[in-house]
Copies of this chain bind each other. A is one copy, B any other.
Amino acid sequence: MAGAVVWLTGLSGAGKTTLAHAVAKKIARPSEIMDGDEIREFLSEGLGFSKEDRDTNSHRIGFVARLLAKHGVLVFVASIAPYAETRAQLAKHSQEAGHEFVEIYVHAPLETVAARDVKGLYKKALAGTIDHFTGVSDPYEAPEHPALTIHTHVESLDESADRVVHLLRARGLA
């Protein structure tokens, strides 16, 4: 099967990484999950959270994801990638490289992700002690035409994962 880049974009705590793992378990083909936090540690240490640094981070992830997709790997990227223009560039690079780029919007309202506060960061961000926190003190440009929008505050993880699998099957990617 062809390689592809499936980019799960959304706020911190929306459930991107969890969803990627649930989908990967449901499909028969091998895949790779690139988690934004993990990637920052290995590829982007030293980068901050300015627009420029976020874009550099997204482009680095994109570069690696394309390398994998080129070799037939289905790559799930779970990374905020807050800027629409940057995601459009990443999609273009994938298309130029000859593989699909599937943008999935993993959505939950700010109130929900702030209440979940998995990493304890929203509390700090809302208290004003973290600058450049996406959705609170830094912009998040939601996708206008994603291939799929997942509402993690109203769907179960299993339902959400099934919807992604259905999309991937329809596109011949799973």
Contact = CB atoms under 8 A, between A and B. Distances in A.
Interface stretch (A5-13, A42-50, A101-109, A120-128): A42-50
A70 B73 CA distance: 11
A68 B73 CA distance: 9
Contacts of A56: 45
A73 B64 CA distance: 13
Interface residues of A, number: 17
A87 to B, nearest CB: 18
B71 A42 contact: no
Binding site of A, secondary structure by majority: helix, strand, loop or mixed? helix
Contact of A42 (B45, B63, B68): B63
Interface string A45-79: 11000000000100110011001101111000000
Contacts of A42: 59-60, 63
Interface of A: 30, 32, 42-43, 45-46, 56, 59-60, 63-64, 67-68, 70-73
